[in-house]
Amino acid sequence: MADGRRGRKRQEEYRELVMKALTADRFTLEDFPILSQLPAIEHWAATHPRELLPHGKAIQGYLRQAVKDVIASVGEPEDETMRRLVEYLQMRYLQKLAQKAIAERWGCSTVHVWRSVGHRAIDLITARFLELARVSPISSSAEAPTTSLKVVDKAG
């Protein structure tokens, strides 16, 4: 059954798009639905018309910044779950390791990795990406701006 609402997408819809975008190349991201139309992405692309695939580069930059912001917000946690979250973010999105490789390193299944930290990581990245990308205009630098974010551990 179709949702009759118009306007802003639901968080779950953005989560799916961000999850796909995190592993997509710049060519795919150039015309990526919804995300390429967010205000800061459009602004960055408009102010950098000579860049190759400016929308794709902007999305990549903002996603990379969102991952870095989430890692920075967690910092050096003493909680094992939050440590695993940071480790997952670094390996999966900065080092570009596959989820299967992370599971092998941790000695568990890919399902366990996803359930224990993967899902939460995507939620946090999505929230931060949307905070960054819904703002317009932003810095006209080649990368997304570095900003701070506070992550609260809801588990304990």
Give the three-class secondary structure for 153. coil
Per-residue DSSP letters for 43-60? HHHHH-TTSSSHHHHHHH
**Tens digit of each residue's pLDDT, the chain (156 residues):** 344 455 556 888 999 999 999 999 999 999 888 999 999 999 999 999 999 999 999 999 999 999 999 999 988 888 888 999 999 999 999 999 999 999 999 999 999 999 999 999 999 999 999 999 998 564 444 444 434 444 444 444
In total, the chain counts a number of residues equal to: 156
- What are the pLDDT digits (tens) for 75-115? 888 888 899 999 999 999 999 999 999 999 999 999 999 99
Cis peptide before 49 (omega within 30 of 0): no
> Residue 6: its pLDDT value, please?
55
Chain centroid to CA 81? 19
Q: What is the pTM of this model?
A: 0.80
DSSP 37: G
Name the residue ranges covered by the structural domains of the chain.
Answer: 29-133
* Nearest of 156, 135, 155, 147 to residue 69 by alpha carbon: 147
* Nearest of 119, 62, 108 to residue 85 by alpha carbon: 119
Q: Report whether 110 contacts 14 (CB < 8 A).
A: no
CA atoms within 13 A on the CB side of 111: 0
